[in-house]
Structure 1
Amino acid sequence: MYPNRPLFGLGFSLGANILTNYIGEEGTECQFKAAVVISSPWNLEIGNKVLKSTWIGHEIYLKTLGTSLRTLVNNNKAEIEKYCEVSLSELSKVKYLYEFDRAYQCPTWGYPTEDAYYRDASSVDALLSVRIPLLAINAVDDPISANMGLPYPEAAKNPYTVLCTTSLGGHLGWFEPGGGRWHGKPVYNFFSHMAFEIDHSSIDPKAREVAYSTAASASTFNPIRRKLDVDLQA
């Protein structure tokens, strides 16, 4: 109905991580004009280790998520047996989230360990490939999106991205006196500005190349491959 309206992306928590990976993979071809990602657990390996290091993280967050997934498995045993080659006996023993990922995600996708899966699914490097205006909002006291895993240097390196952090807010919290939620305000303001005050034709994602290697290096870093391409002939 509105083919000329700008299309924006908005992601929360793990959805924010997935959205960032998508935008980074699309690069200059991304159809979104702008995006906001909220409480993204940018570095899933670090987040997992931080949660495992505390009693609340291990016995509340990881255990709740793990047992919920075990219940989901128990309610869908027939479908899993029909379409998946995973061990239901191992899945029935799952207690924590990382145990589920070890028993289900690793054999399904071919990852040797859950940490390898977490590293590959993280969006820290993908942020470097973003070529649209992107606002990221995180709270440094977030128990799931650990502060030590936030992409401070990556956001600073990429001129298309802004990382906004608050001292308080938890995971998708930001409660205010009276029951309000703070994070809705910057999201609305950002998208309102992008929708009504920005000439999107003036933003050319291909016009500005962002180099991540030094001038003296013949190698290039591809954020999506998460590898350094070394020129052996240089």
Structure 2
Amino acid sequence: MQNYRAPLWLPGGHLQTIWPALYGQRVEGRAPRFRRERWDTPDGDFIDVDWLQDTGDAPAGLLVLFHGLEGSTQSQYAQAYAGWARSQGLAYAVPHFRGCSGELNCAPRAYHSGDWQEIDWILRRLRARFAAPGQRLIAVGISLGGNALLRWAGELGEAAAQVVDAVAAVCSPLDLAAGGHAIGRGFNRQVYTRMFLSTMKPKALAKWNQHPGLFDRERLGRARTLYEFDDVFTAPLHGFRNVDDYWDRASAKPHLPAIRVPALALNARNDPFVPASSLPRAQDAGRFVTLWQPPQGGHVGFPCGRWPAGHVMDMPRAVGDWLLDASGLRTKVPSRG
């Protein structure tokens, strides 16, 4: 991915973002099948975790994927990573952030980009399940999920190695303010912001119906940007003073030097959501963090192949192979294809 170049028929960050999400082939062979588990949370709520069914009887490791904003198991990247995990004989789990599995959660909260405590609870529960000697746990976070994952790794420092063996973040806005302002301007506002708010606002209103008076309902109705939405909903529901406090404290970029497990941060420099000027440099990252910043790829796109048979599988392969090498799983899990 460090040397990735997009197909000539998909120029520019917008096409490299939109086409893979809508049209790119996601897996080779049969579509992945999942079974769902519901976990009760310590605060009386629940999350849903989807498990890939097509794995061997004794997988040597587990790949955990934390999805992006309003993502789910149905997202193109979750399907593509399922195909890669299946090819490696790995167990594969997709925990859904609260409210993202198709059913509104119960508590007076949702999810956010810096929710490292939730990441910690999920990963520790998964580690307890995959605790046999020699078993590895690797995790990848996409966009919002990647920021939260690296935020967790930085918060825990050396203790993170007791839980995971390697982590990766793909197209994550590690500087949330830079990303949040970028998505609120021009074409981004007209297309991506509208897309996200079309599902986020109805879920927020359903949350208000669960817990009347939880936030200013009229202000939420007027929100036209993620900045406005996060200021009235996300920030106050999760203990932040306002949106600026939330974006500042939740960003993973300042915490990268504290990471003490192998970590990869992949960001395309033409990502419409994440300005290249906001990306971490080597001196910002620390010795445990590897930075891949190819000039092309869009936001969680990285399409490959010839028209019209393009696919989105090269990015999961590249990131997955890095995780295998960094975690020591390479010697335990020979590829199945």
- Please give the range of the TM-score, normalised by the shorter of the 2 chains: 0.7 to 0.9
Matches within 5 A, 1:97-112: 97-112=226-241
Runs of 4+ in 1 over 6 A off after TM superposition: none
Rg larger in structure: 1
Tell me which of 202, 205, 220 is aligned to 1:74.
205
- Separation in structure 1 between the aligned mates of residue 153 and residue 329 of structure 2, nearest angstrom: 22
Size of the aligned set, in residue pairs, is 195
1:162 aligns with 2:290: yes
1:5-26 CA-to-partner distances (Å, cap 9, x unmatched) read 0211211110000000111111
Partner of 1:59: 190
- Separation in structure 2 between the aligned mates of residue 47 and residue 77 of structure 1, nearest angstrom: 27
Partner of 2:159: 29
Q: Which amino acid aligns with 2:289?
A: T
Cα gap change, 1:65/1:154 in structure 2, threshold over 3 Å: closer, same or farther? farther
Partner of 1:202: none
Partner of 1:175: 303
Partner of 1:195: 328
Instruction: Report the secondary structure of 2:156's partner residue.
Output: helix
Q: Which has the higher contact order (CA 8 A, sep 6+)?
A: 2
Structure 2: segments with no counterpart, 5+ residues: 1-129, 333-337
Cα gap change, 1:85/1:73 in structure 2, threshold over 3 Å: closer, same or farther? closer
Q: CA RMSD in A?
A: 2.2
Residue 168 of structure 1 deviates from its aligned partner by 1.0
- Separation in structure 2 between the aligned mates of residue 86 and residue 3 of structure 1, nearest angstrom: 45
Cα gap change, 1:107/1:100 in structure 2, threshold over 3 Å: closer, same or farther? same
Partner of 1:138: 267
1:16 aligns with 2:146: yes
8 Å contact kept, 2:204–2:233: no
- Separation in structure 1 between the aligned mates of residue 164 and residue 221 of structure 2, nearest angstrom: 41
1:145-177 CA-to-partner distances (Å, cap 9, x unmatched) read 22111111445x511111001111111000001
Instruction: Report the secondary structure of 1:92's partner residue.
Output: helix
Residue 98 of structure 1 deviates from its aligned partner by 1.4
Residue 139 of structure 1 deviates from its aligned partner by 0.4
Instruction: Report the secondary structure of 2:223's partner residue.
Output: coil
1:18-49 CA-to-partner distances (Å, cap 9, x unmatched) read 00011111110112111111111110101122
Partner of 1:186: 318
Matches within 5 A, 1:88-103: 88-103=217-232
Cα gap change, 1:131/1:2 in structure 2, threshold over 3 Å: closer, same or farther? closer
Partner of 1:7: 137
- Separation in structure 2 between the aligned mates of residue 55 and residue 116 of structure 1, nearest angstrom: 24
**Identical-pair percentage:** 24
8 Å contact kept, 1:64–1:96: no
Cα gap change, 1:124/1:198 in structure 2, threshold over 3 Å: closer, same or farther? farther
Q: Which amino acid aligns with 2:139?
A: G
Residue 106 of structure 1 deviates from its aligned partner by 3.3
- Separation in structure 1 between the aligned mates of residue 328 and residue 311 of structure 2, nearest angstrom: 24
8 Å contact kept, 1:13–1:41: yes
- Separation in structure 2 between the aligned mates of residue 106 and residue 17 of structure 1, nearest angstrom: 16
Residue 78 of structure 1 deviates from its aligned partner by 2.0
Tell me which of 165, 170, 183 is aligned to 1:38.
170
